[in-house]
Structure 1
Amino acid sequence: MMSHFPQYFKRLLLFSLIIGALPLIILGSYSYIKSSEIIREKVNESNMQILLQTQMRVEQVFETIDYSVTQFISSSILQAAMEQSISPEDFVMYRELGNSLRKLQLKKLGIDEIYLVNIDKDWIIRTESVEKYSNFKLHSLFQQYALLSSTSAWVNEENSPWIRLVKKLPILTFSTHPKGMIVLNINKNNINELLSQNQRLGDVLILDEKHRIVSGRYPSYADDDLLLTRIAEQLADSAADQGHFTMDINKMKAGITYRKSSYNNWTYISAVSINEITKESRAIGLVTVFSCIVIFGIVSIIAYLGANRIYYPIRKLYQSIQLSASAVSKDARKDGSSAKNCELSYIAERIQALVNNGTQLEHELQSQVKLMKELFVLKLFLGQITIKEAYGKIRYFGYPSTWKWLSVLTLQIDSLEGTKFRKQDKALLLFSINNIVNELIPSKERFSPILINNDQITLHVSSIEHEQEYKKYIEHLAETIRNSVFHYLKIKVSIGISRPFKDLEDIVNAYEESKDALKYRFRLGDSIILSIENITSQRPDPSYLSKHTIQELIESIRRMDRSKAEENVKQCFAETLKKKPNYHEYQFIIIHLLAKLLEIVQESGESVTSLFGEKSIVEQLLELNSNDDIEAFFKRSIVEPIIDFLEQRKESQNFNITEHIKEMIKHEFETDLSLESCAARMNFHPSYISRVFKKDMNLSFSDYLAQYRLEMTKKWLRETDMKVSEIAERLHYNSSASFIRYFRNMEGMTPGQYKKSHASIKG
């Protein structure tokens, strides 16, 4: 029904209907529930009053009968009759008693039969006869009545049409062996007539103290046993003498009202169907529902008219935006169709799209202007723009157009070693440095700082009159930049400064001067400010490193003496700096030194690429800026890998070296064999031989030789007749005493004692 309405209009109308319907539903539900509760309470109160009236009417009959019987018991004729035996011959006495009994037998009270029993004299009189009590057909039942604990009782016999009033004689006796008793039969139908006099009470029952039915009828929807069982359970759980409760009877909910009599402990019960109780409340509910429907219809009309009026401005705005969107482009219509499920969403999207487009356009323009300004400065440094065109762009981009002095500052990162950054972070660091420079130097004193390769470049503009004063200012500014970069990024940078100039056409030469100034970091170290004017123009000594110095380095590498090689490298660079070469001569010297060291690798038959990788070592060297970095590179990346390579080659020969030495000891232990003589015969350095042998045998050369000689001594003492002096002479001991002392220190006994002990074992 509402499918042709716009989405937001449907939501607005639905919200209005909910706001209007919700109070109706709440109020109607509350009215129905409350009225139902009130009606049920009133019905329960009414039923309780009617039940009380019914109880009083029934008990009035019982009390009247009880009173009449009590009067009869008090009569003199009955008292005289109870003292004598009566037989059919005693006609006068029987007639008087019969007349008295007939007076008690009131049909309107429901009394059907009266029995006068004399237990002691063994007779029983009814209204029409007299006979022996012992021969009476109800003798056994009456005997049970005699055993009752009370002097007077109303007895309800199950499946009997009568209710019996039993009174013991004499009156007020509680003995279980009375002289006699009077028993009255009261027809239950008379009691039922009393119960049915008020139809508003529902179905009424009278239960005895054992919860058996005395009188009344079951509800038509109830099962006899089930109803009595459930009522008995409810009465047992309740301590009150009267009350009301509800229960399910054969899937029907019924309201039970009860009163317990203090006269004979019987219970009067009224059972009324809840449907009957709520009949009036259902009628009220129908009226309420009808009223709510009528009111809701009125509210719906008002809600529709109000929603339509409120929606009118939104409809006009929505239609206008749709028309404008369809007029812009096909893409705009596609964008709009995705949001047409809700007019406000579509309007919000279109407005947001306009805002976003404007913001994006503004950002793009700003970024484009920034890029164009940086591109202009880059072309200035590279000489790719004419001076006339440059001045026009300066005014266009808002750069300072008048100045006294210009200067170029080129910043480079010295090294990332010892910092938290890696080599691949260099580009990001330069970008951060460029931003720092951009913040430190006011816009009126600079053009846009830019990045070229690994350089951060700034064209500084100054209005300072005197050149010397400007030079001091520019050096101070460079120091501020260097210190700020270290403070924020914890990295060292150096800055090269060109000569001050005035003409914009000199900017290319100034850029080269600032880069050339930075090349002299190899002599001056890291984190420095270098002005091209402060670098000495003295001609250096063009001689190279001495052949002796280079040869010492090569020999220490070949001997695999790391400490000596490191010392020789340090000596080479110290000798180089003493010559005070310029940057290009310095490059030539270190490349010449590198070539000499690489010859060691080539002579061994190994390729430089397999040892140092694919990247050119020369390129790695030229990327370094300071002498300390280049010296450390030689030690770490050139000398140490070459020594490691030579040691690995020797390592494959270690096993043969150890076995060769062991063979020498085996055959020449009786000679003056030494580590140096073995090393000389094998063409190895003694320290290398010692290191290899100890690594393989876990013993030094001297310890192994001494141990082998001791074993041979013990063998000679056990297996030969050689004297101690002969053995000492063969092993080149100075005297027999020194040999004996050595043997005792090693074995804990003298050679003679050792020989005797093994001789006794052998014998």
Structure 2
Amino acid sequence: IDKTQTIIMLNRGQPLDRFQEDLEHTASSIKDKIHEELGLFISIGISQPFTSLAMSKRAYLEGLEALTYRLKSGKHTVIFYEHLDRNKAFLTQFPKQIQNELFEAIKTCNRKQAAEQLHLLLESICSENMNPHHCQVAIARLLNNLIEFMHLLGIEIFEPNENTMLYDDVFELTTIEEIESWLNAQIIVKMIDTLSIREESQYKNISEKIVHIIQQEFDTDLTLESIAGRLHYNPNYLSSIFRKEMKISFSEYLSSYRHHIAKNWLTETTLSVKEISEKLKYKNPQNFIRSFKKLEGITPGKYRELKNHSA
């Protein structure tokens, strides 16, 4: 049923504890024999015992629920539904600092370090979130952040309509090892390869040069005129090229990138709103607050409060 093999086991008068032992022994024998004969790793989810065959549907759903814990238990295990921690408290833990180190490794095109940070990140997600559903939420958040980071770097490794399919692809996987391998091969390595090609070409594309300068010097008094002088181009020419290639003006991209940095600082640092506005070169905090509220619908202080509350 739906890619699962379903078996009903009957208890013919055994004491319940003995029947449970037999179930575990039988399940372990099945998975070990399949691995021995076919070289396949399987997991088996076992429902609670029921007194009527009419409860088979519920038993089937409990078995599926047990199998979601493969994300934490691994791909070669027997999982009893009644042993699960089904705490529904929605307190998803997410290791932001490790994610930042992963993103830095991607930016510097360090494959080895990126793979190590991805492993640490997923390991931390699994250890800090006891419920696999919380793990899935954290992994979805990571995938979303990777896609956003990709856009901020000015690179595209997928067609626009493929981005939504990525979530389906990653949640088709059943173990954290499979998810790690998929994220590394399908997203991180491709991002690094794309960035490496860009770096090797020494940012020949004018718009990429401007994007690179913005990302490195967003906290300085950047203007299109100053960049034009450095790149030896006419400012009007740069403006038209940037808008044509990026589908956004220079000032809009600079504001958008600074807004992204502001959100990170609000959630990951103790910098005050005034300090953030100064670092991001707003004339005064009120201009920063108005700009932030226009984009997010709430003030920077409220954004920090909500993010800290949900963390």
Asked if these proteins are the same fold (TM beyond 0.5), I'd say yes
Residue 476 (structure 1) aligned to one of 3, 6, 25: 25
Q: Distance in 2 between matches of 1:612 and 1:528?
A: 36
**What is the match of residue 404 of structure 1?**
none
Shift of 1:462: 2.5
Report if the CA contact (8 A) 1:540-1:581 is conserved.
no
8 A Cα contact 1:553 1:565, kept in partner? yes
Corresponding position: 1:459 with 2:1: no
Among 100, 106, 114, the alignment partner of 1:551 is: 100
Of stretches 624-633 and 603-612 in structure 1, the one that deviates more from structure 2 is 603-612
The answer as to 2:147 corresponding to 1:598 is yes
CA contact (8 A) 1:541 1:579 kept: no
| CA deviations over 1:92-143 (Å, ceiling 9, x no partner) | xxxxxxxxxxxxxxxxxxxxxxxxxxxxxxxxxxxxxxxxxxxxxxxxxxxx
The residue aligned with 2:290 is none
Query: Rg larger in 1 or in 2?
Result: 1
- Counterparts of 1:556 and 1:489, CA distance in 2: 39
For residues 160 and 104 of structure 2, the distance between their equivalents in structure 1, rounded to whole angstroms, comes to 20
Alignment match of 1:646 (pick from 176, 192, 195)? 195
Partner of 1:628: 177
- Per-residue deviation at 1:494? 0.9
Q: Give per-residue Cα distances to partners, 1:350-405, cap 9 Å, x unaligned.
A: xxxxxxxxxxxxxxxxxxxxxxxxxxxxxxxxxxxxxxxxxxxxxxxxxxxxxxxx
Q: Which residue does 1:505 correspond to in 2?
A: 54
Instruction: Give the fraction of aligned pairs with identical amino acids, expressed as a percent.
Output: 27
Distance in 2 separating the partners of 1:585 and 1:543: 5
Contact preservation (8 Å) 2:48, 2:82: yes
When residues 587 and 501 of structure 1 are mapped into structure 2, their CA distance, relative to the original with a 3 A threshold, is same
C-alpha separation in 1, matches of 2:187 and 2:105: 14
CA distance in 2: counterparts of 1:557 and 1:614, whole angstroms: 19
Q: Structure 1 residues 655 and 508 mapped into 2: Cα distance closer, same or farther (>3 Å)? A: closer
Cα distance in 2 between the residues matched to 1:514 and 1:560: 43
Q: Which secondary structure does the structure 1 equivalent of 2:159 belong to?
A: helix
Unpaired segments ≥5 residues, structure 1: 1-451, 657-680, 683-763
> Aligned AA for 1:560?
C
Preserved contact between residue 157 and residue 191 of structure 2 (Cα < 8 Å): no
Question: Cα–Cα, structure 1 residues 497 and 620, in superposed 2: closer, same or farther, change >3 Å?
Answer: same
Partner of residue 487, structure 1:
36
Residue 515 in 1 paired to residue 60 in 2?
no
- The Cα shift of 1:615 comes to 8.1
Does the alignment pair 1:561 with 2:110? yes
Pairing partner for 2:79 from 530, 534, 546: 530
Which structure features the higher share of helix residues? Answer: 2
Note closer, same or farther for the CA distance 1:654–1:608 as it changes in structure 2 (3 Å cut).
closer
SS at match of 1:496: strand
Q: Distance in 2 between matches of 1:477 and 1:565?
A: 42
Answering whether residue 120 of structure 2 is matched by residue 574 of structure 1, we say: no
Alpha-carbon contact 2:45-2:80 (below 8 Å) kept? yes
TM-score by length of 2: 0.60
Q: How does 1:2-13 map to 2 (within 5 A)?
A: none
* Distance in 2 between residues matched to 1:599 and 1:589, nearest whole Å: 15
Give the CA deviation at 1:610: 3.3
**Contact 1:541–1:581 at 8 Å: present in 2 too?**
no
CA contact (8 A) 2:44 2:77 kept: yes
Report the Cα distance in structure 2 between the residues aligned to 1:583 and 1:536, rounded to whole angstroms.
9
- Supply the AA of the counterpart residue of 1:463: R
Please say if residues 498 and 514 of structure 1, whose CA atoms lie closer than 8 Å, have aligned partners that are also in contact. yes
Q: Which amino acid in structure 1 is aligned with residue 131 of structure 2?
A: N
Question: Which amino acid in structure 2 is aligned with residue 500 of structure 1?
Answer: P
CA contact (8 A) 1:493 1:528 kept: yes
TM-superposed deviation, 1:629? 1.5
Q: Is the CA contact (8 Å cut-off) linking 1:494 and 1:527 kept in structure 2?
A: yes
Aligned equivalent of 1:125:
none
The structure-2 alpha-carbon separation of the partners of 1:612 and 1:653, relative to structure 1 and needing over 3 Å to count, comes to farther
Letter matched to residue 23 of structure 2? I
Code of the residue aligned with 1:619 in structure 2: it is D
1-structure distance, mates of 2:162, 2:129: 33
The structure-2 alpha-carbon separation of the partners of 1:634 and 1:514, relative to structure 1 and needing over 3 Å to count, comes to: same
Q: Which amino acid aligns with 2:135?
A: Y
The answer to whether the Cα contact below 8 Å between 1:523 and 1:577 also exists between their aligned partners in 2 is yes
State the 1:479 CA deviation.
1.3
Determine the structure 1 residue equivalent to 2:307: none
Cα distance in structure 2, aligned partners of 1:647 and 1:547: 25
**Deviation per residue, 1:692-722 (Å, 9 max, x gap):** xxxxxxxxxxxxxxxxxxxxxxxxxxxxxxx
The amino acid across from 1:623 in the alignment is E
* Structure 2: runs of 5+ lacking an equivalent: 206-229, 232-311
Deviation at 1:496, TM superposition (A): 0.8
The match for 2:236 is: none
Equivalent residue for 1:728? none
Deviation at 1:556, TM superposition (A): 1.4
1:254-265 mapped onto 2 (5 Å cutoff): none
TM-score (norm 1): 0.26
Q: For 2:91 and 2:101, locate their aligned partners in 1 and report how far apart those are by CA, in whole Å.
A: 22
8 Å CA contact 2:155, 2:194 repeated in 1: no
The SS at the match of 1:453 is coil
- State the one-letter code of the partner of 2:183: F
3-state SS of 2:14 partner? coil
AA partner of residue 638 (structure 1):
I
What is the rounded CA distance, in whole Å, between the counterparts of 1:569 and 1:612 in structure 2?
25
Question: How far off its partner does 1:590 sit?
Answer: 0.3
CA contact (8 A) 2:92 2:138 kept: no
Paired with 2:59 and 2:204, the residues of 1 have a C-alpha distance of: 64
AA at the equivalent of 2:196? E
- For 2:149 and 2:65, the matched residues in 1 are separated by 34
For residue 613 of structure 1, report the CA deviation from its aligned partner.
5.5
Give distance in 2, aligned partners of 1:569 and 1:529: 27
Cα deviation per residue 1:570-613 (whole Å; 9 max; x = unaligned)? 22112212213312111110010111111122124444533996
Q: Distance in 2 between the 1:633 and 1:534 partners?
A: 29
1:619 aligns with 168
Kept in 1, the 8 Å contact 2:92–2:137? The answer is no
User: Letter of the aligned partner of 2:149 in structure 1?
Assistant: I
Which protein, 1 or 2, shows the higher relative CO under an 8 Å CA cutoff with sep ≥ 6?
A: 2
Aligned residues: 207
Distance in 2 (alpha carbons) for counterparts of 1:645 and 1:548: 24
